[in-house]
Amino acid sequence: MKVSDVVNRNVISVSPNEDLAHVRRLFLRYGITKIPVFDEGLLVGAVTEMEVAKAYELTRGPIETVKVGEVMTDDVVAVSPGDELEAVIPEAIKRALVVVTDKNGEFLGILTKTDILRAKQKDLPAVPLSGVVTPKVKTVRPDQSIFRAVKIMKENKVKHLPVVEGRDKVIGIVSAKDIALSTFGLRPKKVTFIRHSAGGMRKVVKIVPQTVGGVMRTPVDTASPRLNVRKAATRLLNKNIGSIVVTESSRLRGIVTKTDLLHTVKKEQ
């Protein structure tokens, strides 16, 4: 199978001068999380849900004043339409965005993990999730701020965090997409108070951090470690979700993402 068989040619793009509030609207309107950035017809980078989520942590306030060019990533790789799909899986796993260009460098479209997984689903092995699950999962509590969640994501290069209470009881999940689409960056809650000092009184305005509990998704899509990998892939694709939390007796046992499944496809080649 060639890249040309699955390339996504209906692509929305933005310029470096547009703001992140506009990017968020595009994410919502078109159900996407990756957008190439063009400057005067030249591809200069990409903005994904992770860049928007990181902007929340950096600005701690409205994102309408943050320009795409300030946060976009250059972690973009170009592949050819004639390339074998299997050969570009490693790039799709590690890069923020895979673009497809012809021999003259003309932009043709993009290739996402979802595109590849849908095309290669039948090549997944008929094994239980226990064989592909990521067992050492980073988690977050519902009372922690989204800033803390983004920090954990950045440090561990993940986009999905199970939300737990007590001893690994899963009560929700939060992703970079959930944070990017939250309304915090549009209308952050503010608190005003009077501070007394030797110089007199002054008004102080602070941003109240949004908690993970306010943006997490619940109920969580969970599965037993015994669930077939192919069925897990079907669930991810049909529900348009990025991960499935693996549990036993409501206790966290791991997480499976599209990246994990693509690693499995790669091993089967």
- Residue 248 or 17, more confident: 17
Domain ranges of the chain: 3-122, 129-179+213-268
- Same fold? 3-122, 129-179+213-268: yes
| pLDDT tens per residue across span 98-148 | 999 999 999 999 999 999 999 999 889 888 998 888 888 999 999 999 989
Is residue 190 scored above 90 in pLDDT?
Answer: no
Strands 107-111 and 160-165 turn out to be unpaired
The pTM score is: 0.86
| Residue 246 burial (10 A CB sphere; 0-12, 13-18, 19+) | buried
The pLDDT assigned to 192 comes to 56
- Across the range 241-253, mean pLDDT stands at 89
DSSP assigned state of 133: -
Q: Give me the CATH topology for the region 129-179+213-268.
A: CBS-domain (3.10.580)
Question: Dihedral of the CA atoms 173, 178, 184, 185 (nearest 10)?
Answer: 150
As a whole-number percent, the residues of the chain with pLDDT over 90 amount to: 71
What is the rounded CA–CA span in Å between residue 162 and residue 256? 11
Task: Convert the pLDDT of each residue in 71-99 to its tens digit.
Answer: 999 999 999 999 999 999 999 999 999 99
pLDDT at 203: 66
Q: Please indicate whether residue 200 or residue 261 has the higher confidence score (pLDDT).
A: 261
Q: Of the ranges 125-139, 143-157, 168-182, 203-217, which one carries the lowest mean pLDDT score?
A: 203-217
What phi and psi, each to the nearest 5 degrees, are found at residue 250?
70, 5
For the cut 90, the answer to whether the pLDDT of residue 209 exceeds it is no
Mean pLDDT (whole number) for 236-257: 91
3-122 architecture in CATH?
Answer: Roll (3.10)
Beta-strand pair 97-101/76-79? parallel
**pLDDT classification of 195: cutoffs 50, 70, 90:** low
Q: In the prediction, which pLDDT does 186 show?
A: 46
* Distance in angstroms (rounded) separating the CA atoms of residues 245 and 234: 15
Q: What is the pLDDT of residues 8-56, one digit of tens each?
A: 999 999 999 999 999 999 999 999 999 999 999 999 999 999 999 999 8
